Structure 1
Amino acid sequence: MSLYAIADFHLALSGDKPMDIFGDNWINHHEKIKNNWINIITKEDTVLVAGDISWSMHMDEGMKDLEWIHKLPGTKIFVKGNHDYFWTSITKLNNLYDDMKFIQNNFFTYKDYAICGTRGWVSPEYESFKVHDEKIYKRELIRLRLSLDSAIKSGYTNIIVMLHYPPFVEDITKNNELVDLIEEYRVKKVIYGHLHGPALQKIKALVIRNEVEYIITSCDYINFTPIKIMN
């Protein structure tokens, strides 16, 4: 039994949404994910999926993608990505399959760890950060705190956070409210994705700040293969 992580499936099994704009390595990327997954993941393992699950705009369209994921071995825990428009009713999602769990103001567990999370948003350090971004960013902070509080109230002290957006830009030394919140709750590890192509060139696979490990798991960064987070 081990814990793995991956992000950015970008499935489009019900339509046509090629991802090779980010490079030839994205050609037939869903087959790469499937083959790599079944080679290393067993039914006893758990995989954290940090958003951008499907390109589908509606739940009915997304069911083919969700069914595809369901057939992969292991338990899967998800947070929402910026492209996951199919994600509407959290209750409906969590009632679909026993092996697929969706985080929204709640948490799930792996051994003695609480898995918390939210989508996140663009970091305030970006020059392009506008007033409307501030509103969304604050809302995501609230959602993460709700998730963390639910875990703390249930007695968990070991916490892993899953975000879709990176919680910081290249300079991890600069504080922002999201990083402050993560450190406030003494989170052990942060899993994130979202970045692709040239945006990955300045990213390190693992960054440690104030005893928190930040791990990027974008599909094209980890060669479309779930990476082991812990046993």
Structure 2
Amino acid sequence: MIYSISDLHLDYTGNKTMELFGENWDNYENRIFQNWKEVVKDNDIVLIAGDISWAMTINEAYNDLIRIENLPGKKVLIKGNHDYWWSSLKKINDLNLNNMFFLQNNSYDFNGISIVGTRGWEDCNEDSDEFNVFKRELLRLEMSIKTAKTCNKKIAMLHYPPFDKKGIPNDFHSILKKYNIEICIYGHLHGPGLSNIIEGTVDGIKYFCTSSDYLNFIPKLIY
């Protein structure tokens, strides 16, 4: 089984809060861990599409990552916009977390399925100061896809939705379509932003939003 839940927003210090996005975030960490243990088995995969920990450094993040490590299943993770601790892939891999795989210009193969992805970025035009970031993330998505075995079914992970604010598919969607991606998950949206969720099949790609509050903090079965 392949499950997904994103935007865990863990903080082992207890100093950060997500309650500004609504009362449904009350006690969210305990709810995530309890639901995870009830749903996920050791031989399952869980895709975590960014915003993993509020930590600022990799050493601080280790305290949250080890909590994820100790949960059932193999975890595949991508960077979110709040994952400031995510530096180089080498530094992350040097943590020697056995049940976690970090996607960055690479892919993960599981039973004939290739997991690909990148953070993505909010849709913007060429006049924007952030357009270079947008373009760089497009390149990283394509690079990740190209590392996958071409004969495999492919599931893509993005943190940002591959749609603009009007719900129109953007350039990330175009790349997913170009490489015949069958399933794509994304997160990032919370509170009022949940009204912008696009799910279902678009151009043959099945989309899931897996923001933890949208899922009521229960990992979602996607495959």
State the TM-score bracket (shorter-chain normalisation).
Answer: over 0.9
Query: Percent identity of the aligned residues?
Result: 41
Structure 1: gaps of 5 or more residues: none
Helix, strand or coil at the partner of 1:165: coil
Q: 1:59 to 1:148 in 2, by over 3 A?
A: same
Among 159, 162, 167, the residue aligned to 1:167: 162
Q: Is 2:136 the partner of 1:139?
A: yes
* 1:187 counterpart residue number: 181
**Cα 1:222–1:130 shift into 2, 3 Å:** farther
Q: Does 1:86 align with 2:85?
A: yes
| SS of match in other structure, 1:131 | coil
**SS of the counterpart of 2:130?**
helix
Q: After TM superposition, give the deviation of residue 15 of structure 1 in Å.
A: 4.8
Whole-angstrom CA distance in 1 between matches of 2:35 and 2:169 = 36
Secondary structure of 2:201's aligned partner: strand
In the TM superposition, residue 158 of structure 1 has moved relative to its aligned partner by: 1.3
Could you tell me which amino acid in structure 2 is paired with residue 121 of structure 1?
A: W
CA contact (8 A) 1:12 1:55 kept: yes
CA distance in 1, matches of 2:82, 2:30: 20
Which amino acid counterpart does residue 211 of structure 1 have in structure 2?
G
Secondary structure, counterpart of 1:30 in structure 2: helix
Does residue 229 of structure 1 match 2:222? yes
Q: Distance in 1 between matches of 2:151 and 2:119?
A: 21
1:133, distance to aligned residue in structure 2 (A): 1.4
In structure 2, what is the Cα distance between the partners aligned to 1:106 and 1:140? 13
Letter aligned with residue 217 of structure 1: T
Q: CA RMSD in A?
A: 1.6
SS at match of 1:36: helix
Cα deviation code 1:7-51 (max 9, x no counterpart): 000011135111100011112211000000000111111000000
Structure 2's unaligned 5+ residue stretches are none
1:124–1:176 CA contact under 8 A, matched in 2: no
Q: Distance in 1 between matches of 2:201 and 2:207?
A: 6
| 8 Å Cα contact 1:79-1:102 kept in structure 2 | yes
For 1:169 and 1:186, the matched residues in 2 are separated by 21
- Residue in 1 that maps onto 2:48: 49
Query: Which residue pairs with 1:217 in the alignment?
Result: 210
Deviations 1:92-150 (A, max 9, x none): 3234212100000000012111100000000137xxx8522111000000101110111
Alignment of 1:51-130 (within 5 A): 51-95=50-94, 96-124=96-124
Q: TM-score, normalised by structure 2?
A: 0.94
